[in-house]
Amino acid sequence: MLIPTSRPRQIRFFAFLFLGLFLLFLVLFASYRLLQFRAFQSALEASDRERLKLLGDSVQPVLLGSLDQVGKDPAFLYDVAAERNLKRIILADSDGTLLADSHREIKTKEKIPSGKGGAAWRTALAGEIVMETAEEASGEFVGKIWLPLNGRAAQLLVTLPSRTDPKARLLLLFMNVFGVMGAGMFGYYFLRLFMVPSPSYFHGVPENPATETGFVIHTFQGLIQQLKQKELALEQLKGRAEEYAKNVESYNENILQSVTSGVLTFNCERRITTFNATAGMILHLSPEEVLGKSYEAIFGGEEKITRLLQETVDLGKEVAREECEVERSDGRKIWLGLNTSVLRDRNNSTIGATLVFTDLTEMKMLQDQVELKKRLTVMGEMSAWIAHEFRNYMGTILGFSRLLSKKIEPNDPRQEMIKAIMAELSAMERLITELLSYGRKTVIHPVTTPLAPLIEELKEQFVSSGGYPHVRWFLSLKEAPEIAVDPTLIRQAFSNLIQNALEAMEGTGEIHIRISNRPAGMLAVKISDTGLGIAKEHIDKIFLPFYTTKEKGTGLGLALVHKIILAHNGQISVESTEGSGTVFTIHLPLQMSPLKINEP
C-alpha cells in the first residue's frame, strides 16, 4: 500500500494545479477534435461520394451472386473485405436480424441498432443506397455504405483519409506532446511528494480499506490481478490453439503417409508439393528427388501419365481408373492404375491437381501369364494334332524309302538319295516328338529332391560329352535345399537352359549356376553365361512356341522350359545384354502339392 506524507498543502497545490491544466487540455482537445470532424465533413467532396458509390456498385453484385455462400463459408465476407480494402462488411436479413459479420462470429440473433444507424439499415432494406461518414472511438474517420440486396441489406465500412488542415495537425501534435509531458510531471510529483512505500504495499490492503488512498490502491491491485489472469488465460488459449493446429497437421500427415496408394499433389505451376512414402516405394524415388520439381521432370515429357496430368491441371479434366506404363529411375518399367482430380480452394478456384496411384505390375504379369497359358493351350492342341498327322504321313514315306532301298543294289548311287531322305525323316521325327511332348498334358509328381546333386550330374554329363572343352563352370550350390519337384521335368528344364547357354558361347566362355533362398518359401536358381546375348527385340518372344533365332532351332526348347516352370507354380525371367551374356532366373516354391496342369 502507498500512504500519504506530512506535506498536505504542497500536495494539494500541485494536485489542483495539474488538475486544472489537465482539464483545460481536455477542453481544448475536445474542441479541436470537434472542429476537425466538422472540417472533415465539409471537405467530403463529390469525388469522395462518387468513390463510395463506385465501391458500393462493385461490391453489390458480388454479394448478390453469393448470398447462399455467406452462410456456408464464414470466411467469404472476410475475403471480400480484404480484396477491396474494406474495414468491415455486415449483412442483415429483411426483418433486421444480423446474418453475418466479416470480422466476428454471430452466435445469437442480433437486431440492427435503433436510432440513426437503424434508419439507414431500414432505408437500404427498402431498396435505396445510403452513404454517410462517422468518426470511430479511435479517432479514425470512416465512410459507411448501406446496400440493398434483394430483401436483405449490407453495411460496408471503409477507412477515409483525414482532411485536417496542416496547421491544425501541428497544433494537435503540440497538444499531444503537452499532454504526455503534463502526465509525466504529474506522475513524478505524485510519487515524489504524495506517496512513499509502505509495508502494506507488499502485504496488500484490507478488503474494506479505511482511507480513500487504500481504496484506490485496492482497486488498482484488483485490476492488475484481473489483467494477469486474463493474460494467463489468453496464453493458455494460444498454446491450446497452437497445439491443436500441430495435432491436426500431424494427423493429416500420418493419414497421408499411411495410405497404401501413392499420393502426389501439384500446384498450378506443375510443381510437386506432396509426395507420400508409398509413392516413393512404387516410383523408387525419395522426397528430396521429387518435391519442388515438375511432373515432366519426374515422368518424362512424352509419357501418357504426363499428358493426363496436364489435362487435369490445365483443362480440369479428371481421370478415373486409368492404366499406364511408367519407366522408373532404375530403368524398370511398371504399370500404374491412377486417378487424377482437380485441387480447389475455398473459393472453388483451381490451385493444382492430385494424383493417386497403385502398382499394377504384379497383376499385369498375372494377366499376361493367364493370356499366355490360353494361347499356349491352343497352340499345344494344334501342335499335337499336326504332329500326329505328320507322323502318319512320315510313316508312309519312311516305309516306301526302305522298300526302295531293298529293291536297289547297295552300290547304286541312288542309295545316297534314299539315305538323305531317311535322315531328313529322322530329323522330322525328333521335331514331332518335341511337338507331342509340348502338347501333352503335364502331370506333376512332386518328390523331395536335392537340387545340388541334380545340377552337378548335368554338369558332368555335358563335360563328359567333350563338346565344350573350353567352357569354365562356376557352381554356387551351398544354399541349395531339398525341394518338392518332379525331378524328371526339372532335369529337362535345367538341361535345356544349360544347352542354350553353351550354344550361345560358341565353345568358349563361362557358365555360372547359383542357388539361393528367398523370402516367402521360394528358391531362386540363376543360370548365366557370357555368350552372345539376346537382342532386345527378341526378349519378350523367346518363350513363345516355334520362335527361334537359331538356324536349325525348333523354337520349342525354351517354350517347354517355360511350361515346366509354370506347372510347378514357379516363374522364369530373363535378362540379357547383346554381346555380354544372358541370365535366366527361376523362382520355385519349396513345397507344392501334387498338381495336374491342363494348360501347357
List pLDDT tens digits, range 201-224.
445 555 555 566 666 666 777 788
Dihedral of the alpha carbons of 398, 400, 401, 402, in degrees to the nearest 10: 90
Alpha-carbon dihedral of residues 315, 316, 321, 322, nearest 10 degrees?
A: 20
pLDDT-based confidence at residue 168 (cuts at 50, 70, 90): low
Extract the C-alpha cell encoding 58.
Answer: 462493385
- Beta-bridge mates of residue 527: 513, 584
Q: How confident is the model at residue 595 (pLDDT cuts 50, 70, 90)?
A: very low
Task: Indicate the pairing of strand 470-476 with strand 508-518.
Answer: parallel
Superfamily of domain 259-359: PAS domain (3.30.450.20)
∠ CA 63-66-68 to the nearest 5 degrees? 125
pLDDT top residue among 269 and 53: 269
Per-range mean pLDDT, top range of 129-143, 259-273, 429-443: 259-273
Q: What is the mean pLDDT of residues 303-311?
A: 84
DSSP 8-class letter at 350:
E
Q: What is the pLDDT of residue 30?
A: 64
How confident is the model at residue 582, as a pLDDT? 92
Short-list 573, 451, 465, CA closest to 514: 451
pLDDT of residue 439: 62
Would you state the pLDDT for residue 46? Answer: 61
pLDDT at 596: 40
Fold of 45-159: Beta-Lactamase (3.30.450)
Residue 79 or residue 35, greater confidence: 79
Quick check: 292 pLDDT over 80? yes
Reported as a single tens digit per residue, the pLDDT across 544-576 is 776 677 766 667 778 888 888 888 888 899 998
Distance CA 26, CA 88 (A): 31
pLDDT of the residue at 211: 62
Q: Are 600 and 442 in contact (CB under 8 A)?
A: yes
**Burial of 147 (C-beta count, 10 Å sphere; 0-12/13-18/19+):** buried
- Quote the CA–CA distance of 89 and 574 in Å, as a whole number: 71
The CA distance from 306 to 356, in Å, is: 14
Q: How far is CA 140 from the centre of its chain?
A: 48
Q: What is the pLDDT of residues 325-353, one digit of tens each?
A: 888 877 778 889 889 999 888 888 888 88
Which range of 27-36, 184-193, 195-204, 228-237 scores highest in mean pLDDT? It is 228-237
pLDDT of 516: 86
Domain boundaries, the chain: 2-35+166-203, 45-159, 259-359, 365-439, 443-597
- Please give, one letter per residue, the 3-state secondary structure of 16-63: HHHHHHHHHHHHHHHHHHHHHHHHHHHHCCHHHHHHHHHHHHHHHHHH
User: Which pLDDT belongs to residue 1?
Assistant: 41
The CATH H-level (homologous superfamily) assignment of domain 443-597 is: Histidine kinase-like ATPase, C-terminal domain (3.30.565.10)
In this prediction, residue 165 carries a pLDDT of 53
Out of 19-23, 231-235, 276-280, pick the least confident: 19-23
Residue 523 backbone phi and psi in degrees, to 5:
-125, 135
Write out pLDDT tens, residues 352-393. Answer: 889 999 888 888 888 877 777 777 677 667 777 777 777 788
Q: Please tell me the predicted confidence (pLDDT) of residue 598.
A: 40
Q: Per-residue pLDDT for 103 more than 70?
A: yes
Cα 376 to Cα 138: distance, rounded to the nearest angstrom? 89
For residue 2, what pLDDT is reported? 42
Flag whether the pTM goes above 0.75.
no
* Cα-only R_g, the chain: 47
Q: Given the C-alpha cell 489483467, which residue does it identify?
A: 227
pLDDT score of 29 more than 80? no
pLDDT score of 434: 67
DSSP string, 86-138: -SEEEEE-TTSBEEEETTB---S--BPPSHHHHHHHHHHHTT--EEEEEE-TT
Q: What pLDDT digit, counting tens, does each position of 434-484 carry?
A: 666 666 666 778 888 888 899 999 999 888 877 788 889 999 888 778 888
Contact 345, 351 (CB under 8 A): yes
pLDDT above 70 (res 519): no
Assess contact for 106 and 112: CB atoms under 8 A: no
Instruction: Round to whole Å and give the CA distance between 298 and 260.
Output: 21
pLDDT the model gives residue 214:
64
- Other beta carbons less than 10 A from residue 138's beta carbon: 6
Compute the mean pLDDT over every residue in the chain, rounded to the nearest whole number: 77
* pLDDT band, very low/low/confident/very high, at 34 (cuts 50, 70, 90): low
- Per-residue pLDDT band for 525 (boundaries 50, 70, 90) equals very high
pLDDT given for residue 414 in this prediction: 85
Same fold, 259-359 and 443-597: no
Strands 470-476 and 333-344: unpaired
Looking up cell 518338392 gives 484
